[in-house]
Amino acid sequence: MVRIYGSNIPLARRRLEGLMLRLQLEGMDELALEIARDILPLMHRKMLAKRKPISSEPVDEHMRKVVRAYAKTPKGREQTQAQIAQKFNIHPGRVSEILKGG
């Protein structure tokens, strides 16, 4: 028997399918059916949660200029990057990139 470390669901599924076929050839249909009905369906990865849809605006060169100009105004200088991001509906990390010259 080969030792395999770590998780490998596709390989485990193939090995179970092989065992199922061997059991059928040897007349052990009940065991083969149990594998097919009860065990193989468990060998699929499932998504835990759907990704949240993108809700922020894309940042193009025009948006960069607008954010830089706003950040230089008296009101813009009083606000945090998160507040500026909220005002323009963009991700706060993008504001940081823009203000650092990105």
Q: What is the pTM of this model?
A: 0.49
Domain assignment present for 53: no
Domain assignment present for 88: yes
**CA torsion sign, 22 to 28 to 29 to 31?**
negative
Domain assignment present for 48: no
Domain assignment present for 19: yes
Residue type for 9, please?
I
Query: Which regions of the chain are under pLDDT 50?
Result: none
Domain assignment present for 84: yes
Quick one: pLDDT at residue 57?
A: 76
Which three-class secondary structure state does DSSP give residue 79?
Answer: coil
Number of domains the chain contains: 2
Quick one: pLDDT at residue 1?
A: 57
Residue numbers of the domain that contains 88: 61-99
Quick one: pLDDT at residue 90?
A: 92
Residues 67 and 94 in one domain: yes
Domain assignment present for 54: no
Residue with token string 């100009």: 69
Quick one: pLDDT at residue 65?
A: 94
Domain assignment present for 66: yes
Domain assignment present for 49: no
Quick one: pLDDT at residue 80?
A: 95
Q: What is the DSSP letter of 52?
A: P
Quick one: pLDDT at residue 10?
A: 85
